[in-house]
Amino acid sequence: MNESKTFEVKGMHCASCASIIEKTLKKIEGVESIEINPGTEKAKISFDLSKTNPEILSKHIEPLGYSLIIPTASTAESMSMSLDKHAKHLGFSQTKNEKIIELKDMKNKLLSLIPIVIISVFVMGFDILAQFKLIPEIPYFWSEFFHYLLPVLATYTLFVVGKPYLLGLYRFLRTGYANMDTLIGLGTLVAFIYSFVISAFEESLSSFINVNQSYYDVVIVVIAFITLGKYLETRSKIKTGDAIEKLLNLQAKTALIIRDGKEIEILIDQVVHGDLIIVKPGSSIPVDGIVVGGTSYIDESMISGEPMPVQKNIDDTVVAGTINTTGSFTFKATKVGSETMLAHIIKMVEEAQGSKAPIQALADKISSIFVPVVLILSFLALGLWLLIGTQYFEFSQALSYGLVSFVSILVIACPCALGLATPTAIIVGVGRGAREGILIKDASTLQKLGSVDVVVVDKTGTLTRGKPELISINNFSNSNNNELVSILATLENKSEHPIAHSVMNYAKEKNIKIKDISNFEIIKGKGLKGLIDGIEYFAGNTKIIKDLNLSFDTTLIEKETLEGKTPVILVTKEKVLGVVMVADAIKVEAIEAIKNLHKLNIKVVMLTGDNKNTAEYIAKQIGIDEIVAEVMPEDKLNKIKELQSKGYVVAMAGDGVNDAPALAQADVGIAMATGTDVAIESAGITLLHGDISKLVKAISLSKIIMRGIKQNLFWAFIYNIVGIPLAGGLFFPIFGWLLSPVFAGFAMAMSSVSVVGNSLRIKSKKL
Ligand code: ADP
Ligand code: MG
């Protein structure tokens, strides 16, 4: 039996850890595939349950210093768990606590380093100044004192604060797997041992080594900088993932329900389908449901990003996590626990944050070969200094330069920032999207959305309000208007098309009766048909008349469609009974949105099953570049294919119902969701309370994220590209430049910090 599960991984620090774990687990029998994300520190593993299990998998990586956090039976209960447990199940609050403890520990260690660093910098500075004879030499007593103090301080720094790096080195020696800790560990340990040997055998070495040159201060400062960098990075990383926590906090802990005629307050996980829930002013909606009594305005901004409170009457849907304003009402629970929209959103955000963007593949590949390459380079630099350097310098000087190069290369070349570049931007960006009501399915969708150059939109509901109204009736039958509408409404009663709603609303208003119907059928892209009082009726667009070969003068239809109205024609097999005109108002925000899309150099194509004249009228009003009217659902699909074959990257926005195939074909399918029935799983992007202006926001968000990733990758690479040759002493013969390991440590720490900081900026960028 195949199982696919996501685990928290303990002990992970960076991208090279990810590749070590990935390589190790892949070798185990029964493991099918692994996806590890260094940003979320999670591993998605598919494995064959009959051959292996999470405990076995964890055992395999434990010697390397990692482990999988395996949810216990009590946390991973059933599907019907409450959101609180859901959060625990997702391992969220737990990880955060652990992170906070880790952070505290790091902080304490950093604080203990402050006096140590001050002393070493003091000694270093004094030494340099004394060398240039700017100050008198340190008095003998003090110089001897520091001579013995520094090794002690360096020992504490390396073996207590720098323990993770030494473990990284130990792991490398035992298993052959190197990661960034290995590099730091090797560099600092070598510097330490060299210094130690000098101090211990000062007398006997003094003839061929400069015994006054020790590197205890370097060990101290490098470890201090790198630990500071890690501290800042961990602190920011906690911040990058807070979107989910905010969403979890929207969930009410209790609900006020009516049971046996009494109001009682119960825990949220005890609410079941059908419970009647009372919502008082100012309280939050605990589960999803349908209003059955009372009325109110609800602030849905936290879910949809829509700032205006929404009015709710009987039969309207309410969703968990939104907040009631002033009224009070009762609603019936229809979705509880993990079925609620909020739970879906959280799940989706979680998954999207953990997914890998294609652009990351490059970074992964580089960081996986980086560490061994750097190891080789560092030894090469040391070797070359000893080989070539000795021809120009004394042995002791060349050895000292070589050692500096060796340590600097190891320190500056850590691919840590490289591993953080993509995931941190994705995590922050996806969280930002969720706050705006833009739900992103995964990172690759996000990447594609950023390079979209054609947006295809459905007319009804996207550009127009999607709530057409019946505005005129042209009756060619022998019976009165009400009788005509009665037949039409009976047909439309079974349809979900917006046109059907306009007819039904009209019928309701006029108290027009609905008849019995049989043999009802939808005629795709054209309309519908059914048997009423023994007569077969058809309703729909002009294609219906054509299909039945009826003769009919269409001047009337031509004229009215030019004004943007849509005809609904009611016919029998023999004759046209009437033409009802419906009109759908244009969304004002659509005009602005199309303008903004044009500003982003995106072409907008409108696809509609509606009449050509109607479509053209609306396109002109809104400023659409190209229209394709009177299309059948499968033609929508073909149009998308056609655009793609011309080399366009196509996004398709639709209501997700009859547009499903086209949505799936598009490079990015965008579902405009209304109410609670979000087609979250099917679309790449879901816009809650979707109007098209939100689509513009989604596209600019993805562009911002992609730009952020590229900047991050640049910053991560530039440190290494410039740093390695500088550290190796390549510029030494020309400019006399040799990077001090201290600066290498600083640069390395700064690269991670600047990458995470840059990602955090996505939180507040204007969309
Ligand atoms: P669209 O979503 O662009 O309207 P559809 O494929 O849903 O595309 O419908 C195509 C056309 O078929 C509509 O524009 C309308 O003219 C006609 N049609 C579809 N359903 C109905 C209906 N229930 N009542 C009347 N006409 C309909
Ligand atoms: Mg449609």
3-state secondary structure 270-301: HCCCCCEEEECCCCECCCEEEEEEEEEEEECH
Specify the pLDDT at position 364. 75
Q: How confident is the model at residue 275 (pLDDT cuts 50, 70, 90)?
A: very high
Pocket of ligand 1 contains residue 495 by CB under 6 Å: yes
| Distance in Å, CA 28 to ligand 1 centroid | 55
Ligand 1 near 542 CB (within 6 A): no
Q: What is the pLDDT of residue 292?
A: 96
pLDDT grade for 143, boundaries at 50, 70 and 90: confident
Kindly give, in sequence order, each residue whose CB lies less than 8 Å from that of residue 549, ignoring residues fewer than 6 positions away.
none
From the CA of 633, give the closest atom in ligand 1. Answer: 6
What pLDDT score was predicted for residue 14?
64
The reply to whether ligand 1 has any atom less than 6 angstroms from the CB of 610 is yes
HSE-up of residue 349 (Cα within 13 Å, Cβ side):
32
Whether residue 93 is predicted with pLDDT greater than 60 in this model: the reply is no
Tell if the pTM clears 0.85, that is, is over it: no
**Ligand 1: does its nearest atom lie under 6 Å from the Cβ of 499?**
yes
Whether the CB of 633 sits within 6 Å of ligand 1: yes
Alpha carbon distance 388, 456 (integer Å): 65
Find the 608 Cα to ligand 1 centroid distance in Å: 9
Q: How far is the CA of 497 from the centre of ligand 1 (A)?
A: 7
Q: Is the CB of 489 under 6 A from ligand 1?
A: no
CATH code 3.40.50.1000 for 440-455+589-696: yes
pLDDT band with cut points at 50, 70 and 90 for residue 87: low
More confident residue, 14 or 310: 310
61 pLDDT above the threshold of 50: yes
When the candidates are 1.10.10.10, 3.30.70.100, 3.40.50.2300, 3.40.50.150, the CATH number that belongs to 2-70 is 3.30.70.100
Residue 539 CA: nearest ligand 1 atom is 25
Residue 614 near ligand 1, beta carbon < 6 Å: no
| Ligand 1 neighbour 661 (Cβ under 6 A) | no
- Confidence at residue 189, expressed as pLDDT on a 0 to 100 scale: 93
Tell me if 660 CB under 6 Å of ligand 1: no
At residue 637, the pLDDT reads 87
Q: What is the DSSP letter of 461?
A: I
- Å from CA of 632 to ligand 2 middle: 10
568 CB near ligand 1 (under 6 Å): yes
Ligand 2 mean position, distance from CA 46 (Å): 38
Best mutation site among 458, 494, 503, 541 for ligand 1 pocket (most ligand atoms within 8 Å of CB): 541
d(CA 428, CA 424): 6
Ligand 1 near 526 CB (within 6 A): yes
Sheet architecture: strand order including 527-532: 469-475, 576-583, 565-572, 535-540, 527-532, 518-523
pLDDT of residue 646: 95
How sure is the predictor about 16, in pLDDT bands with cuts at 50, 70 and 90? Answer: confident
Q: Which atom of ligand 1 is nearest to the CA of 492?
A: 23
Nearest ligand, measured from the Cα of 489: 1
Structure tokens at 618: 């609306």
Nearest-ligand number for the alpha carbon of 499:
1
Proximal ligand: closest to the CA of 566: 1
Q: Which atom of ligand 1 is nearest to the CA of 524?
A: 6
CA of 609 to the centre of ligand 1 (A): 6
| CA 116 vs CA 152, 224, 265, 746: distances in Å | 10, 9, 57, 17
Which of 408, 416, 401 has its CA nearest to residue 378?
408
Report the pLDDT value the prediction gives residue 513, as an integer from 0 to 100: 93
Q: Residues, the chain, total?
A: 767
Point out the ligand 1 atom lying closest to the alpha carbon of residue 503.
Answer: 24
Mean pLDDT to the nearest integer, 624-650: 90
Does 373 score more than 70 pLDDT?
yes
Q: Ligand 1 in contact with 567 (CB < 6 A)?
A: no
Q: Are 533 and 514 in contact (CB under 8 A)?
A: no
User: What are the distances in angstroms from CA 26 to CA 172, 312, 474?
Assistant: 19, 53, 71
Summarised one tens digit per residue, pLDDT across range 749-764 is 788 888 889 999 999 9
In the reported structure, the alpha carbon of residue 589 is separated from the centroid of ligand 2 by a whole-number distance in angstroms of: 20
* pLDDT attached to residue 276: 95
Name beta bridge partners: 729.
none
Annotated catalytic residues are 458
pLDDT at 408 over 70: yes
- Ligand 1 pocket test target in 493, 606, 610 with most atoms within 8 Å of CB: 610
Interval between CA 540 and ligand 1 midpoint (Å): 7
CATH code of 465-586, in short, is 3.40.1110.10
Ligand 2 centroid, distance to 635 Cα (angstroms): 13
Q: What percent of the chain has pLDDT over 70?
A: 93
576 pLDDT above the threshold of 80: yes
The answer, yes or no, to whether residue 365 has pLDDT greater than 60, is: yes
Specify which residues 318 forms β-bridges with.
289
Q: For ligand 1, say whether the CB of 497 is within 6 Å of any of its atoms.
A: yes
Digit-coded pLDDT (tens) for 63-81? 777 888 876 543 333 333 4
What residues pair up with 583 in beta bridges, in sequence order?
469, 565
Q: Is the CB of 320 under 6 A from ligand 1?
A: no
658 CA closest ligand 1 atom index: 7
Q: Where are the domains of the chain?
A: 2-70, 98-242+356-425+709-764, 251-342, 440-455+589-696, 465-586
pLDDT band at 707 (very low <50, low <70, confident <90, very high): very high
Alpha carbons within 13 angstroms on the beta-carbon side of residue 332 total 9
Instruction: Give the closest residue (by CA) to ligand 1 atom 27.
Output: 527
Could you tell me if the CB of 46 is within 6 A of ligand 1? no
Q: Average pLDDT, stretch 507-525?
A: 93
The protein residue whose alpha carbon is closest to atom 6 in ligand 1 is 525
Which atom of ligand 1 approaches the CA of 459 most closely? Answer: 3
Q: Which residues of 311-341 are buried (b: 16+ CB within 10 A; e: fewer)?
A: ebeeebbbbbbbbbeeeebbbbbbbbbbbbb
Instruction: Find the mean pLDDT for residues 425-430.
Output: 92
Question: pLDDT at residue 205 above 80?
Answer: no
- Expressed in angstroms and rounded, the spacing between residue 633 Cα and the centre of ligand 2 is 9
Which helix or strand (DSSP H or E) is residue 45 part of?
Answer: strand 42-48
Cβ proximity of 733 and 395 under 8 Å: no
Among 10-19, 182-191, 624-633, 702-711, the least confident range: 10-19
Pocket test of ligand 1: the residue of 495, 497, 529, 658 to mutate, having most ligand atoms within 8 Å of its CB, is: 497
The whole-number average pLDDT for the span 141-168 is 89
CATH number, domain 251-342 = 2.70.150.10
pLDDT band at 521; cut points 50, 70, 90: very high
Identify each DSSP E strand in 306-348 by its residue range: 310-312, 317-318, 323-324, 328-335
**Per-residue DSSP letters for 694-760?**
HHHHHHHHHHHHHHHHHHHHHHHHHHHHHHHHHHHTTTHHHH-----HHHHHHHHHHHHHHHHHHHH
| Residue 80: per-residue pLDDT | 34
Here the tokens at position 669 are 């399918």
pLDDT for residue 53: 86
Ligand nearest to the CA of 612: 1
Give per-residue pLDDT as tens, 457-503: 888 777 888 788 999 999 999 999 999 999 999 999 988 888 999 99
Distance 662 CA to ligand 2 centre (A): 11
**Residue range 439-450: mean pLDDT, rounded:** 91
Least confident piece of the model among 73-87, 196-210, 650-664: 73-87
Which ligand is closest in space to the CA of residue 497?
1
The fraction of the chain above a pLDDT of 90, given in percent, is 37
Q: Is 609 in the pocket of ligand 1 (CB under 6 A)?
A: yes
Give the pLDDT of residue 758.
Answer: 93
Ligand nearest to the CA of 663: 2
Mean pLDDT taken over the chain? 85
Q: Is the pLDDT of residue 42 over 60?
A: yes
What separation in angstroms does the CA of 524 have from each of 490, 527, 529, 535, 545?
Answer: 18, 6, 11, 21, 15
